[in-house]
Amino acid sequence: MKKILLSTAFLVTVCISAKAQFSLGIKGGVNFSSISANDVSSSTVTGYQAGAFARIGKSWYLQPELYVNGTGGQFSSASGTGKVTFTNINFPLLLGKSFGTTDLNFRLLAGPVLVGVMSKNESFSDGFNATFKDFSFYKPHNYGYQVGAGVDFGSITADLRYQGGIDKINPKYGQVQNIWALSIGYKIL
């Protein structure tokens, strides 16, 4: 994670010194996450996200971000039920394409995301725990991808994105996190 932060800081510095178009902003929003897993049914948990972004470039742009979000999933099987929620720190590095003007701009974006788990809260029924031992053994970080679209109205920005997992957050049960996120932001610079 340290290498990603240093690389992002270096890239931002180079682009600013090259006089590329640069904007910096804050964002927040809501997400709907689930965790798909082998041998159980899953359902959605509503969460949040809050953080910051930089946008470097105009027509084609690079958008590194740093934000905290709350995600998770609910599970059910014949042996019982369970729920897990995470507080994560996310580092997406997105490549985007803009269409429009400064006042009204439409965007498409995609790229990788590194997710670090900061905390976990879980509750499983006794029957579920007995059947699915180590179900809640989650990796401390995982990798994924984000794809989405956005619109800018002057300094206000809005994004709708899908985030999928590239690797499993629990390989034993094939658990992968899936997230739909809607965010609103404000460009400070």
CATH of the domain spanning 2-187: 2.40.160.20
Provide the token pair at 59.
Answer: 């027509």
* Positions of the chain with pLDDT lower than 70, given as ranges: 1-20
CA quadruple 9, 14, 18, 21: dihedral positive or negative?
negative
**Considering the entire predicted model, what is its pTM?**
0.86
Measured in degrees and rounded to the nearest 5, phi and psi for residue 78 equal -60, -25
Looking up tokens 């957050």, which residue turns up?
169
pLDDT at 47 (0 to 100): 98
Looking up tokens 């470097």, which residue turns up?
56
pLDDT at 38 (0 to 100): 86
Domain ranges across the chain: 2-187
pLDDT at 18 (0 to 100): 46
pLDDT digits (tens, 9 = 90+) for 121-144: 999 888 887 778 777 889 999 999
Q: How far apart are CA 148 and CA 168, in angstroms?
A: 22
Residues 135, 35 contacting (CB under 8 angstroms): no
SS3 label, residue 87: strand
pLDDT at 8 (0 to 100): 58
